[in-house]
Chains A and B, each alone.
Chain A
Amino acid sequence: MPAELLTFAQLVLNGLALGAAYALVALGFVLVLNATGAVNFAQGDMVMLGGYAAVALARALPVPGLLLLPLVMAAMAGFGLLFSALAWRPFRHRPPIFGLLATVALGLALQEAMNALEGAGPQAGPALLGVGEIRLGPLGLSRASLGILLACLGLGLAQGWLLGRTQFGRRLRASAQDPVTARALGIPVDRLIAVSFMLAAALAGAVGLLLSGPYFVTPTSGTDLILRAYIAVAIGGWGSLRGAVVGALLIALFESVVAGYASSVAATAALYGAVLLLLMVRPSGLFPAPLGRRA
Chain B
Amino acid sequence: MLRLDRVGILRGGAVDVDLAAGITALLGPNGAGKTELLEAVMGLRRPLAGSIYLDGADIARWTPERRSRAGIGWCPEGRRIFPGLSVMENLELVATVGRMERRRRLDRVLGYLPALADKRGAAAWTLSGGQQQMLAIGRALMTAPRILLLDEPSRGLAPVLVADLFALLRMLADDGLTILLAEQAVAAALNIADRGLVLEHGRLQASGTAAEIRTHAALERSLLGAGRYS
Contacts and interface: CB of A to CB of B under 8 A. Distances in A.
B85 A170 contact: yes
A182 B80 CA distance: 10
Interface of A: 167, 170-171, 173-174, 177-178, 180-189, 289-294
A64 B96 CA distance: 41
B7 interface: no
Given A173-B85, A293-B123, A186 B80 contact: no
26 contacts: A170-B93, A173-B82, A174-B89, A177-B83, A181-B74, A181-B80, A181-B82, A182-B82, A183-B44, A183-B65, A184-B67, A185-B74, A185-B94, A185-B143, A186-B64, A186-B65, A186-B69, A186-B94, A187-B93, A187-B94, A289-B84, A290-B125, A291-B84, A291-B123, A291-B125, A292-B83
Nearest to A172: B93
B63 to A, nearest CB: 7
Given A290-B125, A291-B125, A293-B123, A184 B76 contact: yes
Interface in B81-135: 82-85, 89-90, 92-94, 96, 123, 125
Most B CB contacts (10 A, CB to CB) among A180, A184, A187, A189 go to: A184
B44 A184 contact: yes
Nearest to B136: A181
A167 B83 contact: no
Contact of B68 (A178, A185, A291): A185
Given A177-B84, A184-B68, A186-B143, 16 more contacts: A170-B89, A171-B93, A173-B82, A173-B85, A174-B82, A174-B85, A178-B80, A181-B74, A181-B82, A183-B63, A184-B43, A184-B76, A185-B143, A186-B96, A290-B125, A293-B84
B83 A186 contact: no
A206 B80 CA distance: 37
A177 B89 CA distance: 13
B139 to A, nearest CB: 7
Contacts of B139: 185
B104 to A, nearest CB: 16
B84 A181 contact: no
Contacts of B123: 290-291, 293
A170 B95 CA distance: 12
B84 A173 contact: yes
A247 to B, nearest CB: 19
> Closest 4 CB pairs between A and B?
A293-B84, A186-B68, A184-B74, A170-B93
A35 B42 CA distance: 23
Most B CB contacts (10 A, CB to CB) among A170, A174, A186, A291 go to: A186
Contacts of B147: none
Contacts of A187: 65, 93-94, 96
Q: Please tell me the size bucket of the interface on B.
A: 20 to 34
B85 A188 contact: no
Contacts of A171: 93
Contacts of A183: 44, 63-65
Contact of A167 (B44, B64, B93, B125): B93
Nearest to B142: A185
Interface in B1-50: 42-44
B198 interface: no
Contacts of B76: 181, 184
A185 B85 CA distance: 15
A184 B83 contact: no
A285 B216 CA distance: 58
B53 to A, nearest CB: 19
B140 interface: yes
Given A170-B93, A185-B140, A186-B96, A292 B64 contact: no
A184 B65 CA distance: 6
Contacts of A177: 82-85
B76 to A, nearest CB: 6
A288 B131 CA distance: 25
A171 B92 CA distance: 9
Contacts of A294: 84
Contacts of B68: 184-186
Contacts of B84: 173, 177, 289-294
A181 B83 CA distance: 12
A207 B42 CA distance: 42
